[in-house]
Amino acid sequence: MDFAKNGRAYLAELIGTFALTFIGGGAIANGGQGALIGIALAHGLAIMTMIYAVGHISGGHFSPAVTIGLLVGGKISMSDAVAYIISQVIGATLAGFVLLSTFADTGAKTGYLGTPNFGPNVSLMIAILAEIIMTFFLVLTVWGAAVDGRTAGPAVGLAIGMVVAMDILMGGPVTGAAMNPARYTGTAIASGKLDQFWVYWVGPIIGGVIAGLLYSNFFMKKS
């Protein structure tokens, strides 16, 4: 792992994940759990903007699930994947504590600083399944729009931002539609709401792995 050579990419991942967590979590903290359209747009716009801003430096993963989905498809080395994930978690955690200093409320009023959470009557298995499916769509879109490149072209940021917004519009009331272990972890640590921690790591990672293996083995254009 060459930190001197790849440090810019790691920093870009930290900044992009910070932005996603700060803007997405802040939208929830500002608007409460009911402002679904605004929350979906905040997350989608944050992802889209950061892809255009620093995606050319790091690839614009901003999520351990995306990084692992690309790792299983052979598009990133194990050492870089580990460094990316560490950078993402650091960025999200920094954002969580900035949100804490901004809102000074870690309770239900701010949605635990915008921490993804189960909806009413949502079981553990349904939550995991929902996170798997939503993250599958996200990572599949990353592969199709950014890695393969036969579809989105210059609109890659828009495509990925919109799949995030799409997933939140459906899954926000179910699980908070994290699709991103780092995004969950950052606000969960800052708010102290860590009771569902493993769900938001296991579900998205499984979804990312399935999408990465499927696209790289069956859909990817062979050179």
Q: What is the pLDDT of residues 100-116, one digit of tens each?
A: 999 988 998 899 999 99
The pLDDT-based confidence of 2 (bands split at 50, 70, 90) is: low
Record the tokens describing residue 205, joined without a space.
């990672």
Q: How far apart are the two ends of the chain, measured CA to CA in Å?
A: 27
Decide if pLDDT at 32 tops 70. Answer: no
The pLDDT-based confidence of 150 (bands split at 50, 70, 90) is: confident
**Structure-model confidence comparison of residues 152 and 128, the more confident one:** 128
CA atoms within 13 A on the CB side of 108: 3
Instruction: Report the domain count for the chain.
Output: 1
Q: What is the pLDDT of residues 180-208, one digit of tens each?
A: 999 999 999 999 999 999 999 999 999 99
Please tell me whether residue 97 adopts helix, strand or coil conformation: helix
Average pLDDT of the residues in 76-87: 96
Domain hosting residue 92, numbered range: 3-219
> Which residues touch 126 (CB under 8 Å, ≥6 apart)?
174
Q: Which pLDDT score, from 0 to 100, does residue 223 have?
A: 61
> Which residues touch 168 (CB under 8 Å, ≥6 apart)?
36, 39, 40, 43, 44, 177
Rounded CA gap, 116 and 49, in Å?
22
The CATH number of residue 103's host domain is 1.20.1080.10
Q: Which pLDDT score, from 0 to 100, does residue 34 have?
A: 60
